[in-house]
Structure 1
Amino acid sequence: MNKTEFLNKLRTALNGIPQDDIEERVSFYGEMIDDRMEEGLTEEEAVSGIGPIDEIVTQTLSEVPLTKLVKEKVKPKRELRAWEIVLIILGFPLWFSLFVAAFAVVLSLYIVLWALLISLWAVMVSFAAVALAGIAVSVVLFIKGFIPHGIAVLGVAIMFTGFSIFLAIGCVAASKGVVRLTKKIFIGIKSLFIKKETAK
Structure 2
Amino acid sequence: MNRQEFIKKLQFELSKLPKDEVQNVIDYYNEYFDEAGPENEEAVLREFGNPSRIATQIKADFAVKQLSDKKSGSRQEGRKGVSAIWWIILGIFTAPVALPLAIAGGLFALAMLLTVGSILLAALFCLGAFFVSGIIAFVIGFSILFVNFVNGLFAIGTGMALIGVTALLAVAVVFVTKKLVQFSASKMNEKRQMKTNQTEGKRNE
Using structure 2 for the length normalisation, give the TM-score.
Answer: 0.49
Secondary structure of the residue aligned to 2:145 is helix
CA RMSD of aligned residues (A): 4.2
Q: 2:177 — aligned with what? A: 175
Report the number of matched residues.
136
The partner residue of 2:96 within 65, 70, 74 is 74
Counterparts of 1:17-166 in structure 2, within 5 Å, are 18=13, 23-25=22-24, 60-62=62-64, 65-66=87-88, 69-70=91-92, 73-74=95-96, 95-143=98-146, 145-166=147-168
Is residue 59–residue 91 contact of structure 2 (8 Å, CA) maintained in 1?
Answer: no
Query: What is the CA–CA distance in structure 2 between the aligned matches of 1:57 and 1:101, rounded to whole Å?
Result: 19
User: What is the CA distance between 1:109 and its match in structure 2?
Assistant: 1.2
Query: What is the CA–CA distance in structure 2 between the aligned matches of 1:164 and 1:16, rounded to whole Å?
Result: 50
Query: What is the CA–CA distance in structure 1 between the aligned matches of 2:181 and 2:88, rounded to whole Å?
Result: 17
Identical-pair percentage: 13
Is residue 117–residue 174 contact of structure 1 (8 Å, CA) maintained in 2?
Answer: no
- CA 61–166 in structure 1, closer or farther in 2 if over 3 Å, else same: closer
Secondary structure of the residue aligned to 1:138 is helix
Query: What is the CA–CA distance in structure 2 between the aligned matches of 1:178 and 1:71, rounded to whole Å?
Result: 25
Q: 1:34 — aligned with what? A: none
Residue type at the aligned position of 1:25: N
Q: Deviations over 1:161-191 (max 9, x none)?
A: 2211111111221332354467668x68x96
Q: Which has the larger radius of gyration?
A: 1
Query: What is the CA–CA distance in structure 1 between the aligned matches of 2:184 and 2:27, rounded to whole Å?
Result: 28
Is residue 18–residue 69 contact of structure 1 (8 Å, CA) maintained in 2?
Answer: no
Task: Say whether residues 1:198 and 2:204 are aligned partners.
Answer: no
- CA 180–136 in structure 1, closer or farther in 2 if over 3 Å, else same: same
- CA 17–115 in structure 1, closer or farther in 2 if over 3 Å, else same: farther
Residue type at the aligned position of 1:170: A
The unaligned stretches of length 5 or more in structure 2 are 1-9, 29-57, 67-83
Secondary structure of the residue aligned to 1:74 is coil
Is residue 134–residue 154 contact of structure 1 (8 Å, CA) maintained in 2?
Answer: yes
Query: What is the CA–CA distance in structure 2 between the aligned matches of 1:106 and 1:180, rounded to whole Å?
Result: 18
Query: What is the CA–CA distance in structure 1 between the aligned matches of 2:106 and 2:93, rounded to whole Å?
Result: 17
The unaligned stretches of length 5 or more in structure 1 are 1-14, 30-55, 76-94
Using structure 1 for the length normalisation, give the TM-score.
Answer: 0.50
Secondary structure of the residue aligned to 2:163 is helix
